Structure 1
């Protein structure tokens, strides 16, 4: 608990150029304090898995979980007993890939949006050590590495975001080399594999951005590999793999989702071989072919690819075995026998809750094993209020859970839900939950038993209009108005009007040009829209674009007015009515009052230290509290503050807990979340 401090907003008179920015007066305030209720939810959320030899003739299975903090578990492949477990230190919470090596060193990594940390597990000593961290200020000066590979000499090759660059790192000499971007048309490298001493990377994500490149680590030169005749340039090159000299190239967007490229001859081989499907989910392949056989998952089936025979063989059908009601990881091959010439013992895949499925590929028999994976707190993502007055907590890349908190007791019940809930809103008597990817909407009745998929049930998705994320939903007299962000690499969000009872919808993409929706408010037949210049991740907005406030007429379904909210701002992330006035907040840390009759900004107040970068209007947030007549908000820099529009007084309540989600309950109590925990604040107690 910490005591808030009073701050004065900056004073600027814009004279003829615009409205006055009024300075708040400092005044002593008594504050009841911010109470930390602790982690919202804890669960096992399996991320990446791997399998390799135990150097005693058997196999080991590696499992990482995403969470705050994440965990690492090593299991005996035959007995399912724990060999090693650790809760991992650091701020990274999303697991990436796991790579075992014949040297007895298994590498694994975790990342956040600011750093990536690579670790190594030593099979012989049963210990874990840090390898290298990447961040803006680190020797490897980029924050996010989604994939990496380990060369035979132990050198790590890593693909970065957002600069689509390849780096190498030698753990022995600590030498770092930046090979620069593979291309400059996009920001993502999704695939990386090695054939001999050559590195192959695949790019994306957006129309025409899927390309294959060969990197010579000696010369540092990239060469784009031209696709086979008739192949369509895909949106993305997926998880690359290699079998001998052949590179396995998943191509999302081509009629044949897997192509095979022989790096020795420079030819695309096995022409006419139709793949059974695009490899999915992420980490769908086993990375260590045994006897030239490569195993992978595509939707509900596990397949074997024999490159030499140019054939695919179905190995296991999850649906046919009644196992398609679970969310399973990719598949890994467990070796047995000598390290240099192993045989295949079993295949393994994990459910998100840590239960594993061990399959005998010879006869299709299988065994389900209970979880021995170390759990961790789930990453929270959003908070919203349901028709029952409870607080609903959405999770980020979760094991398909969300939470429901009773504000009378502060007790939280874990519910089934989407992997990533982007918002929860009351619309009429329905609870409306949006989720990523695909801009999906579920609607349900809280007085009926909660059964995700049935109640709430799916009533909408934005796939047809290439929408991916819905962070903003507002109740417009019983209709849900949705504000969305497009898919990777694209600009132009959408406003959608949706009936939560029937699922009837009308979607208006591009109605605000190349902008997307960062905030919504509703009153009297008009939806007030705050915009953001940002589109899908990897998109490139117009450098001159600015955050706007616009009006959407529910009768005509058109934008009737629009104006720049605060010059120089990219995003209007919060809009709220209070005391008959509409106030908003920008990513630059400026509160503004919008005249709903004159359709112009008439007053602005700058909050010190509140300006910062933000994605898609997730922050800032602004809510009005009827109980005490004050606005409450979260800035782009994650300050929790109150704002009195009668005297323009701003008071910082918290700037230490890195808060990112906010709701004001009808009682006046305020709830907020950070990466894992729930907080509450009683301003009138």
Structure 2
């Protein structure tokens, strides 16, 4: 019907429609609220940031002429008066809770769900909030909530793609039951048959299912959707005006842009591609060799780019976090569940979970490791050990990560926990059969709160899991993402605005090169790559400065200054950097 740009925001989680047809969107990156008034000729209006300092506006709900939204990192709830534009701040829901990811309203009360299984009932007039009892101990994150016919439905668990729907009765103040394996994010309103519909998931396919709101008895329908991620981003009942779809038809929009139709009267179902054009998304990871490989943020996908012609091949896939080109093989680390895949570039792409190939194709990329059962979630570090490849992972609801070492011949993974307690590995390099890693004191998300204060640089035996040494290059630094080893076996670490080199045998500090003054630049900033032919270290500092550093003399040159996030260097010595959705090639002549 209509498509329009979203201002300066990279994307939005929350969307809600007012009774008059106006559409409101809460965005991430800028934490703004946007409105598109009803009508085909309307444009998007930026209503500003409702809560200063917060960069995410998650789910939203509207009651009595006011919009209520949840935020990150403030972990707060705000209201926005649709008529006057007045904003009221209800504050952080609970000390230590940075996320309010879910929100809904029922009988004049606003319900807000936080990261660690806390749900609050808020009186909009007085601002008084009361915490509900937890449905189970340590039950996980409150990912989404729905209010239907006097009951509150809260999807809670450690996974964002498969969790348990808990049912709360406000009249009795008790949790009355639960439904497992719900993909989210939304449940339907009660259908023409008196049932509530949702997407069930078994980790491989989604099934449109329904339950009786009184007994919670579940029944699966014949409608099946392929894919391990089958979250919907909206669901409702519609009269399609088509005799082939009589009465009310259930319509769901999936995260990947497909529309799922199911008619309970005829048991007919169909999956359609939505007629929407794609939008450029932020590059989240780069891997470079003869071709350059990039992965997208949130929406995911992997693109292979010819650096000479710019021609690209795209495959719908998970959110890539680490990429290692290795001849005809490309090793991939993806989010969520810190999964490891091997992609054979000589064979047909076929991934039934995201983008199936021709009928009869074998899986390619091949799944080699799933970190979900071990509570591992992100996987942003990778290093080549010759006959093995190593990945560093970050946990979901705990603090201790792991190192996953995969044998290239047998494809067998070995997992070493840690090796630094309550920290996770976010930078890796390898030399002479030893792994060198940089850690983060923060896990996949900003919660749980860190228990340590200093990121470590360490050496690990990948065969035995023995920690050979660990040092703190920069006290107080939360993360060391950039780790490299040069041709003289010096281990380099990029920490904020400084490079340090260390003895590979014991970690002793050998040299410090100050590139720029330290400043707060976010826990994701900082990338380091080494070009052995030129003996040059490429350092992407604080998300905005790209330096070329002579590893022998320590001489540093500022090559490029602009917003940048990711860095990779090809075997030919070309540096590739990302700037939002753009991929840039940087050539540098030392002379």
Q: Within 1, Cα distance between the matches of 2:92 and 2:310?
A: 49
1:162 to 73, 78, 81: 73
Q: Within 2, Cα distance between the matches of 1:351 and 1:267?
A: 32
Aligned to 2:359: none
Q: Deviation of residue 253 (structure 1)?
A: 6.9
Q: Within 1, Cα distance between the matches of 2:452 and 2:158?
A: 32
1:482-521 residue CA offsets vs partner (Å, 9 max, x unmatched): 111111x421111222113323222111321111112111
Query: Is the CA contact (8 Å cut-off) linking 2:146 and 2:186 kept in structure 1?
Result: no
Aligned to 2:358: none
Q: Deviation of residue 611 (structure 1)?
A: 3.7
Aligned to 1:401: 301
2:382 to 467, 470, 473: 473
Are 2:106 and 1:195 aligned?
Answer: yes
Q: Within 2, Cα distance between the matches of 1:169 and 1:669?
A: 49
Aligned to 2:292: 391
Q: Within 1, Cα distance between the matches of 2:189 and 2:42?
A: 23
Query: Is the CA contact (8 Å cut-off) linking 1:587 and 1:611 kept in structure 2?
Result: no
Cα gap change, 1:468 to 1:139, in 2 (>3 Å): closer
Cα gap change, 1:673 to 1:287, in 2 (>3 Å): farther
Q: Deviation of residue 415 (structure 1)?
A: 2.9
Q: Within 2, Cα distance between the matches of 1:166 and 1:403?
A: 38
Correspondences of 1:248-647 after superposition (within 5 Å): 248-252=153-157, 257-269=164-176, 275=179, 277-281=180-184, 283-286=185-188, 294-299=196-201, 300-307=206-213, 309-312=214-217, 314=219, 316-319=221-224, 323-324=225-226, 328-330=230-232, 332-335=235-238, 345-351=248-254, 354-385=257-288, 389-398=290-299, 401-416=301-316, 418-426=317-325, 430-452=329-351, 454-487=363-396, 489-540=397-448, 542=450, 545-609=453-517, 611-615=519-523, 618-647=524-553
Cα gap change, 1:516 to 1:358, in 2 (>3 Å): same
Q: Deviation of residue 221 (structure 1)?
A: 1.5
- TM-score, structure 1 normalization: 0.76
Q: Deviation of residue 217 (structure 1)?
A: 1.6
Q: Within 2, Cα distance between the matches of 1:641 and 1:347?
A: 54
For the aligned residue pairs, the C-alpha RMSD in angstroms reads 2.9
Unaligned runs of 5+ in 2: 241-245, 353-362
Q: Deviation of residue 379 (structure 1)?
A: 2.6
Q: Within 1, Cα distance between the matches of 2:46 and 2:388?
A: 52
Q: Deviation of residue 684 (structure 1)?
A: 3.9
For the residue of structure 1 that corresponds to 2:100, the secondary structure is strand
- Relative contact order: is structure 1 or structure 2 higher (C-alpha 8 Å, sep ≥ 6)? 1
Q: Within 2, Cα distance between the matches of 1:543 and 1:479?
A: 32
Q: Within 2, Cα distance between the matches of 1:316 and 1:660?
A: 44
For the residue of structure 1 that corresponds to 2:284, the secondary structure is strand
Cα gap change, 1:443 to 1:155, in 2 (>3 Å): same
1:516-536 residue CA offsets vs partner (Å, 9 max, x unmatched): 112111111211112222223
Aligned residue pair count: 568
For the residue of structure 1 that corresponds to 2:32, the secondary structure is strand
Q: Within 1, Cα distance between the matches of 2:433 and 2:349?
A: 32
For the residue of structure 2 that corresponds to 1:258, the secondary structure is strand
1:115-141 residue CA offsets vs partner (Å, 9 max, x unmatched): 22322333356524426332xxx6544
Aligned to 1:210: 117
Cα gap change, 1:539 to 1:353, in 2 (>3 Å): closer
1:105 to 4, 10, 22: 22
Query: Is the CA contact (8 Å cut-off) linking 1:392 and 1:404 kept in structure 2?
Result: yes
Q: Within 1, Cα distance between the matches of 2:193 and 2:124?
A: 28
1:613-644 residue CA offsets vs partner (Å, 9 max, x unmatched): 333xx431111223433211111233111112
1:89-135 residue CA offsets vs partner (Å, 9 max, x unmatched): 21x222323322332323233322xx22322333356524426332x
Query: Is the CA contact (8 Å cut-off) linking 2:192 and 2:248 kept in structure 1?
Result: no
Aligned to 1:221: 128
Structure whose alpha-carbon radius of gyration is higher: 1
Query: Is the CA contact (8 Å cut-off) linking 1:201 and 1:213 kept in structure 2?
Result: yes
Unaligned runs of 5+ in 1: 1-81, 338-342
Cα gap change, 1:375 to 1:682, in 2 (>3 Å): same
Q: Within 2, Cα distance between the matches of 1:598 and 1:102?
A: 66
1:295-329 residue CA offsets vs partner (Å, 9 max, x unmatched): 3222222233443x43445463333xxx4259655
Q: Deviation of residue 412 (structure 1)?
A: 1.7
Aligned to 1:20: none
Query: Is the CA contact (8 Å cut-off) linking 1:610 and 1:635 kept in structure 2?
Result: no
Query: Is the CA contact (8 Å cut-off) linking 1:520 and 1:575 kept in structure 2?
Result: yes
For the residue of structure 2 that corresponds to 1:464, the secondary structure is helix
Cα gap change, 1:245 to 1:327, in 2 (>3 Å): closer
